[in-house]
Amino acid sequence: METKLWTVNPQADHLEDDPQIKEAAACLARGEIVAFPTETVYGLGGDAKQRDSARKIYAAKGRPSDNPLIVHVASEEQVREICTDITPIAKTLMDKFWPGPLTLVLPSRGEVSDAVTAGLSTVAVRMPSHPVARALILASGVPVAAPSANTSGRPSPTTAAHVAHDLNGRIAGIVDGGPTGVGVESTVVDCTTTPITILRPGGISKEQLAEAVGAVIDDPGLVRPDQAPKAPGMKYKHYAPQATMYLVPGGKEQIQQLVTHEKNSARRVGVLTTEENRDAYPQADIVLICGKRSAPESVAHRLFAVLRDFDNAEVDVIYSETFPETGIGRAIMNRLAKAAGGRVID
């Protein structure tokens, strides 16, 4: 399959009328799958009402079909077309954080394919703030199911080049709207529980949610292997670089010791660090900077790109610094823990 590339300027006016957007939207409307930028990561979109579109998404990603897909919409009217029982709390969250990196799990009206909901009675839905994403959804005229546009288990893509690396020849096209902003995926909140439950930390923090609606709880462990996942990222390994990765909460002194040990074993070693510690690991084969510790949003923005850069460096092992689990730091540590497969050196 030839994968077409459409290049779009996100700052242009009336994007829904752009010929590139119209061509990509026509692909979506006829059941093809297309990658496009959101404010979080690039998504791999298909018509949420068409079972075959969902199957194409799962096949292109190599993703298990019991892992539900987030449905992207461009208006509140589209939400009401596919969801029932929008509670006052859900409405408050929509008004406060949409468009933006927040996904709400709501009761499904049955309009969305069960291949998208993984057979659940709920559907995960969000309204992206990226102008290219919203223009594409509007031009297609359909709600768009879209997980991250990478092969399953790999770091999520934050540029069109990342998408092409993983999916070229496997999807109809890629809408290149430049690099994404937030870097980590949306926060997923189950609005069918009381209080509401965070299923996946992301671009909207628990503190922000609590300030808006009061009580908010975390899904126990955020991984529930004993039940069907209600949202992406709850059941399977995600974001993994090719090298074995470890989280090191002991800080730079412990990482320095580990690097020395690896060098004695003649293995290529990489370190994931921040601007503040860029010179702390002179013995490492490669040191990659993932933003500033003093600005955790910059770490979130760079995280997935850095994980992919380690693959290009062909290291054997990666040691990563850890971060405080407050604000967006919870999302950063959630993704790092998944990338490391839960491996932590105490």
Q: Are 246 and 320 in contact (CB under 8 A)?
A: yes
Distance CA 86, CA 84 (A): 6
Asked if pLDDT for residue 126 goes beyond 50, the answer is yes
What are 335's strand-pairing partners? none
Maximum CA extent, the chain: 62
pTM of the model: 0.91
Q: What is the pLDDT of residue 223?
A: 46
**What residues contact residue 321 under an 8 Å CB cut-off, 6+ apart?**
248, 251, 252, 255, 271, 272, 273, 274, 277, 293
Percentage of the chain modeled with pLDDT above 90? 87
Pairing of strands 269-273, 286-289: parallel
Homologous superfamily of 4-222 in CATH? DHBP synthase (3.90.870.10)
Residue 264, burial from CB neighbour count under 10 angstroms (0-12, 13-18, 19+) = exposed
Which CATH number, 3.40.50.11030, 3.40.50.1380, 3.10.450.50, 3.10.50.40, labels domain 244-339? 3.40.50.11030
Helical H segments across 174-251, by residue range: 206-213
Q: Single out the residue of 98, 135, 128 nearest to residue 9, CA to CA.
A: 135
Q: What is the pLDDT of residue 158?
A: 95
Rounded to a whole number, what is the distance in angstroms from the first to the last CA of the chain? 47
Asked if pLDDT for residue 153 goes beyond 90, the answer is no
Q: Are 188 and 20 in contact (CB under 8 A)?
A: no
- Domain residue limits, the chain: 4-222, 244-339
Q: What is the pLDDT of residue 67?
A: 82
Q: What is the pLDDT of residue 226?
A: 47
pLDDT tens across 76-88, in order? 999 999 999 899 9
Mean pLDDT value of segment 241-248 = 95
pLDDT tens across 184-216, in order? 999 999 999 999 999 999 999 999 999 999 999
pLDDT band at 237 (very low <50, low <70, confident <90, very high): low
Pairing of strands 42-47, 34-37: antiparallel
Q: Are 106 and 90 in contact (CB under 8 A)?
A: yes
Asked if pLDDT for residue 134 goes beyond 50, the answer is yes
Q: What is the pLDDT of residue 264?
A: 85
Tokens found for residue 166: 């993983």
pLDDT tens across 288-335, in order? 999 999 999 999 999 999 999 999 999 999 999 999 999 999 999 999
Asked if pLDDT for residue 234 goes beyond 60, the answer is no
Side chain identity at residue 249, one-letter code: P
Asked if pLDDT for residue 259 goes beyond 90, the answer is yes
174 compared with 240, residue with greater pLDDT: 174
Asked if pLDDT for residue 49 goes beyond 50, the answer is yes
**112 three-class SS:** coil
The answer, yes or no, to whether the previous bond of 195 is cis (omega within 30 of 0) is: yes
Distance CA 74, CA 227 (A): 31
Mean pLDDT value of segment 46-66 = 91
Q: What is the pLDDT of residue 229?
A: 52
Distance CA 61, CA 44 (A): 9
